[in-house]
Amino acid sequence: MNTQIDNLLQENRRFAPTEEFAKNSVVTSSLYEDAAADRLEFWAKQARDLVSWETPFTRTLDWSNPPFAKWFDDGTLNVAYNCLDRHVEAGLGDRVAIYWEGEPGDSRTITYAELTDEVKRTANVLAGFGIGKGDRVAIYLPMIPEAVISMLAVARLGAIHSVVFGGYSSDSLRSRIDDAEAKVVITADGAWRKGKVSSLKPAVDAALAGKDGDTQGTVEHVLVVKRGENEVDWSEGRDIWWHDVVPAASADHTPEAFEAENPLFILYTSGTTGKPKGILHTSGGYLTQAAFTHKSVFDLHADTDVFWCTADIGWVTGHSYVVYGPLANGATQVMYEGTPDSPHPGRWWEIIEKYKVSIFYTAPTAIRSFMKVGRQVPQEFDLSSLRVLGSVGEPINPEAWMWYRKVIGGDKTPIVDTWWQTETGAIMVSALPGVTETKPGSAQVAIPGISVNVLDDKGNAVPNGGGGLLVVDEPWPAMLRGVWGDPERYKETYWEKFGDKYFAGDGARLDEDGDVWLLGRVDDVMNVSGHRISTAEVESALVANEMVAESAVVGASDETTGQAVVAFVIIKQSHLDQAEKIADITSSLRSWVGQQIGPIARPREVFIVNELPKTRSGKIMRRLLRDLAEGREVGDTSTLADTMVMKVITDQVQK
Ligand code: WT7
């Protein structure tokens, strides 16, 4: 591992912005100086320039009760007004907000005026269901315009959305609905994926039916968009078709202003325990940093650029760079419903050509899977409109970075590798494309106004060339405000380790220039295709299966997905005796996890073993299992209670 990283740090290719790019860049290096001179005043200026306030704020940051921050807290605003009405009022109503492309080839072009109308109607419908300030609405939708409309309609009412990724199971949906006590669920009959309609509504029905015949919980209404045209069950009184109520609703709706710290959304993400955390974000600070980063990191020229972020709205990237950042900035963007290779492997590149996308933001896992297929596919399309490429979700290896630049970017586009998290709300570490000389593989520097550092285990800053843990030194506008319903967990997870510094959970190194290289998670969180999955979550799904006595899960490196889930399980003897074939057990356990959590968590491999490697105090040594899963020689086993265990396991796995 370390030699690999040392090689990385010797990466000496550099790409400076061209003179022309630098000349037209929306920001210059003076931003770093402004931010260094007065960090809080810098953010106050961004908040005034990029956001419209109903009541201007006079206080920038209140950090009197750390780690609970308040930003701009005496100001009031309406987030949806900032993303919609104000652009229409400024005469930009005819500007395209969304070029939406459905997987089967249908498309919709939606202007800012139209989007504003739709959101107003939807807000009126939700208000009719009794939704108002502080209420929670769960959104379980595919990538269709109604997803964006729903989020903004909830925000417009001062209510809180909790978007649940459409690939999550009914159990995952139910636990999120219950944790947030959502009153309304917005879903669709089905969605297009890989050339077929996959249904969504049955998962909502199952979630609301509950497990042991309990009731639908806190949910009063389910609003259903027709997209898949598939048959669905209907619960009279509870379920309402979107098309029956939204078009008929009034398009008059006056946005009310809410305080800057009014909660905007909850988004669940995996932590080190089995129970996902509801990450809470609020309004003014979040919107400021989402808009600022969207503009400066992607060099957005809102009147000419076409932006495309490929993330699903079920992830934070979809929140900040499909919904809030681009729309607050009045940008024109592409939104695509389906998978990258449907109906043909060049679908994404075809979309870039069709809409002349100029800024493109995607994940390393996607880039690596395109590399596998080969450059001949993208080369069939005209990608010359591209001028900025972005990467997010996991470290991008230099080889993939170079391929991205050469094959997709025509060897001319700057690449911004953006490090951030669900918790940080918006980009924290990234190059600025018109300013920074970029380095393949490094996320490089904190953006202006953000302060990060790399510390050793004792909390001392490491010198250039050293490695340790990434922290954020100072509170930032888009920071999480807590874990929904669990302030203790918020303190423990992020603030206990270093006291006054935010512990991100990532390992990092600083190179000789002081640039940051991310090394992956240091906790029991896996990163599969840029999605966070905790080992504990998968383990608890496995032991919930009647065949499984015990399990240990590790993230093993994978050429395409970054990491892959690999599970080691002990099967109860009674089931081993019954089973026809071991292969049947492993494949049924793989699908079981897929059903319990969602297909993204399905293990790549399940190994059946008799024992797990444990320390004398009973802690599973996942490090050794990871060695095994990655095909390495197994490391130091001296702290195991039984040092022979790994040999037995290795023999079993290699059989
Ligand atoms: C974790 C956060 C940020 C939106 C998508 C993921 C990893 C994210 C990078 C990057 C190296 C990265 C980290 C982080 N990560 N971006 N550019 N380079 N690692 O959000 O699901 O909250 O996951 O993703 O490990 O902690 P998330």
Q: What is the domain count for the chain?
A: 2
ipTM over 0.95: yes
Residue 393 assigned to a binding site: yes
Predicted pLDDT at 216: 76
Mode of pairing for the β-strands spanning 190-193 and 196-199? antiparallel
Q: How far is the CA of 309 from the centre of ligand 1 (A)?
A: 15
- Contact between 405 and 15 under an 8 Å Cβ cutoff? The reply is yes
Residue 417 assigned to a binding site: yes
In single-letter form, the type of residue at position 38 comes to D
Residue 420 assigned to a binding site: yes
Q: Which of 333, 399, 351 is nearest to 372 (CA)?
A: 399
Shared domain check, 424 and 297: yes
**Would 526 be classed as within a structural domain?**
no
Nearest-CA residue for atom 8 of ligand 1: 393
CA distance linking residue 381 with residue 363, whole number of Å? 20
> What number is the average pLDDT over the span 55-81?
98
Q: How far is the CA of 525 from the centre of ligand 1 (A)?
A: 11
Residue with tokens 């998670």: 521
Asked if the bond preceding 343 is cis, omega within 30° of 0, the reply is: yes
Band of residue 621 on the pLDDT scale cut at 50, 70, 90: confident
Shared domain check, 358 and 216: yes
Residue 10 pLDDT exceeds 50: yes
Shared domain check, 464 and 405: yes
- 393: domain CATH number? 3.40.50.12780
> What number is the average pLDDT over the span 40-44?
98
Q: How far is the CA of 394 from the centre of ligand 1 (A)?
A: 5
Shared domain check, 579 and 436: no
Residue 547 pLDDT exceeds 70: yes
CA distance linking residue 643 with residue 655, whole number of Å? 20
Nearest-CA residue for atom 7 of ligand 1: 394
Average pLDDT, the chain: 94
C-alpha distances in Å from residue 601, one per residue of 172, 366, 541, 556, 594: 12, 17, 10, 13, 6
Any bridge partners for residue 650, and if so which?
none
Predicted pLDDT at 329: 98
Q: How far is the CA of 530 from the centre of ligand 1 (A)?
A: 7
CB atoms under 10 Å from CB of 479, counted, come to 24
- Which structure tokens are listed for 589? 């356990």
Asked if the bond preceding 67 is cis, omega within 30° of 0, the reply is: yes
**Residue ending a domain, choose from 488, 508, 528:** 508
Nearest-CA residue for atom 12 of ligand 1: 394
Predicted pLDDT at 211: 60
- Which structure tokens are listed for 612? 């797990």
Q: What sign has the CA pseudo-torsion 262, 267, 272, 274?
A: positive
**Would 86 be classed as within a structural domain?**
yes
CA distance linking residue 458 with residue 456, whole number of Å? 5
- Which structure tokens are listed for 286? 């979040």
Q: How far is the CA of 404 from the centre of ligand 1 (A)?
A: 19
- Which structure tokens are listed for 139? 């959104």
- Which structure tokens are listed for 260? 């800057």
Shared domain check, 462 and 319: yes
Nearest-CA residue for atom 14 of ligand 1: 421
Predicted pLDDT at 1: 42
CA distance linking residue 256 with residue 181, whole number of Å? 24
398-436 pLDDT, tens digit per residue, is 999 999 999 999 999 999 999 999 999 999 999 999 999
Band of residue 505 on the pLDDT scale cut at 50, 70, 90: very high
Nearest-CA residue for atom 20 of ligand 1: 421
CA distance linking residue 3 with residue 9, whole number of Å? 10
Q: Which of 421, 483, 136, 420 is nearest to 278 (CA)?
A: 483
C-alpha distances in Å from residue 589, one per residue of 270, 544, 566, 601: 21, 11, 12, 12
Residue 626 assigned to a binding site: no
- The burial of 605, by beta-carbon neighbours within 10 Å (0-12 exposed, 13-18 middle, 19 or more buried), is given as middle
Band of residue 503 on the pLDDT scale cut at 50, 70, 90: very high
Residue 11 pLDDT exceeds 80: no
Residue 195 assigned to a binding site: yes
Relative to the CA of 504, which ligand 1 atom is closest? 26
Specify the range with the lowest mean pLDDT, choosing from 104-113, 264-273, 296-305, 454-463. Answer: 264-273
Cβ neighbours for 146, distance < 8 A, ≥ 6 positions apart: 186, 188, 225, 227, 242
Q: Which of 374, 415, 288, 364 is nearest to 530 (CA)?
A: 364
Name the range with the highest mean pLDDT among 37-41, 212-216, 546-550: 37-41
Residue 6 pLDDT exceeds 80: no
Shared domain check, 568 and 472: no
Predicted pLDDT at 217: 86
Residue 233 pLDDT exceeds 90: yes
Relative to the CA of 518, which ligand 1 atom is closest? 11
Residue 8 pLDDT exceeds 70: no
Q: How far is the CA of 104 from the centre of ligand 1 (A)?
A: 31
Relative to the CA of 429, which ligand 1 atom is closest? 17
Q: How far is the CA of 252 from the centre of ligand 1 (A)?
A: 40
432-455 pLDDT, tens digit per residue, is 999 999 999 999 999 999 999 999
- 627: domain CATH number? 3.30.300.30
Relative to the CA of 525, which ligand 1 atom is closest? 25
**Would 10 be classed as within a structural domain?**
no
CB atoms under 10 Å from CB of 90, counted, come to 12
Q: How far is the CA of 362 from the centre of ligand 1 (A)?
A: 12
- CA angle (598 as vertex; 594, 600 as ends), nearest 5: 90
Predicted pLDDT at 577: 78
Relative to the CA of 419, which ligand 1 atom is closest? 17
Task: Kindly provide the b/e burial profile for residues 539-551, where b requires at least 16 CB atoms within 10 angstroms of the residue's own CB.
Answer: bbbbbebebbebb
Shared domain check, 592 and 473: no
CA distance linking residue 98 with residue 110, whole number of Å? 5
**Would 522 be classed as within a structural domain?**
no
Residue 96 assigned to a binding site: no
φ/ψ of residue 647, rounded to 5: -65, -45
- Contact between 471 and 504 under an 8 Å Cβ cutoff? The reply is yes
Nearest-CA residue for atom 27 of ligand 1: 421
88-107 pLDDT, tens digit per residue, is 999 999 999 999 999 999 99
Residue 418 assigned to a binding site: yes
560-572 pLDDT, tens digit per residue, is 999 999 999 999 8
Query: Containing H/E element for 266?
Result: strand 263-269
Residue 481 assigned to a binding site: no
Predicted pLDDT at 550: 87
Q: How far is the CA of 555 from the centre of ligand 1 (A)?
A: 15
Predicted pLDDT at 4: 58
Residue 2 pLDDT exceeds 60: no
Shared domain check, 598 and 487: no
Residue 441 assigned to a binding site: no
Best residue among 439, 518, 557 to mutate for probing ligand 1, ranked by most atoms within 8 Å of CB: 518
**Would 123 be classed as within a structural domain?**
yes
Crossing angle (nearest 10°) for helices 30-37 and 39-50: 120
Relative to the CA of 427, which ligand 1 atom is closest? 3
Residue with tokens 């249908």: 106
Predicted structure pTM score:
0.92
Q: How far is the CA of 326 from the centre of ligand 1 (A)?
A: 20
Shared domain check, 578 and 504: no
Best residue among 421, 445, 452 to mutate for probing ligand 1, ranked by most atoms within 8 Å of CB: 421
Predicted pLDDT at 7: 65
What residues line ligand 1, using a CB cutoff of 6 Å?
269, 315-317, 392-395, 417-422, 443, 504-506, 518, 521, 527, 530, 532
Q: Which residue has the higher pLDDT, 640 or 497?
A: 497
**Would 286 be classed as within a structural domain?**
yes
Q: How far is the CA of 383 from the centre of ligand 1 (A)?
A: 27
C-alpha distances in Å from residue 620, one per residue of 285, 294, 368, 524, 624: 41, 42, 32, 12, 9
Residue 214 pLDDT exceeds 70: no
Q: How far is the CA of 327 from the centre of ligand 1 (A)?
A: 23
Residue 496 assigned to a binding site: no
CA distance linking residue 138 with residue 154, whole number of Å? 10
- Contact between 110 and 146 under an 8 Å Cβ cutoff? The reply is no
Nearest-CA residue for atom 1 of ligand 1: 421
320-363 pLDDT, tens digit per residue, is 999 999 999 999 999 999 999 999 999 999 999 999 999 999 99
Query: Containing H/E element for 504?
Result: strand 502-510
CA distance linking residue 497 with residue 499, whole number of Å? 6
Predicted pLDDT at 199: 95
**Would 141 be classed as within a structural domain?**
yes
Cβ neighbours for 139, distance < 8 A, ≥ 6 positions apart: 147, 150, 151, 154, 161, 162, 163, 164, 185, 186, 187, 313
Nearest-CA residue for atom 21 of ligand 1: 532
Shared domain check, 567 and 427: no
Shared domain check, 235 and 343: yes
Residue with tokens 């409309």: 149
461-476 pLDDT, tens digit per residue, is 999 999 999 999 999 9
Residue 454 assigned to a binding site: no
Relative to the CA of 417, which ligand 1 atom is closest? 17
**Residue ending a domain, choose from 480, 508, 536:** 508
Residue 15 pLDDT exceeds 90: yes
Nearest-CA residue for atom 19 of ligand 1: 394
Q: How far is the CA of 418 from the centre of ligand 1 (A)?
A: 8
**Would 517 be classed as within a structural domain?**
no
C-alpha distances in Å from residue 277, one per residue of 25, 271, 363, 486, 533: 38, 7, 23, 9, 12
Domain holding 638, by residue range, is 545-654
- In percent, the amount of the chain with pLDDT more than 90 equals 83
Shared domain check, 628 and 496: no
DSSP result, 82-130: HHTHHHIIIIITTSEEEEEE-TTS-EEEEEHHHHHHHHHHHHHHHHHTT
**Residue ending a domain, choose from 463, 488, 508:** 508
- Contact between 566 and 554 under an 8 Å Cβ cutoff? The reply is yes
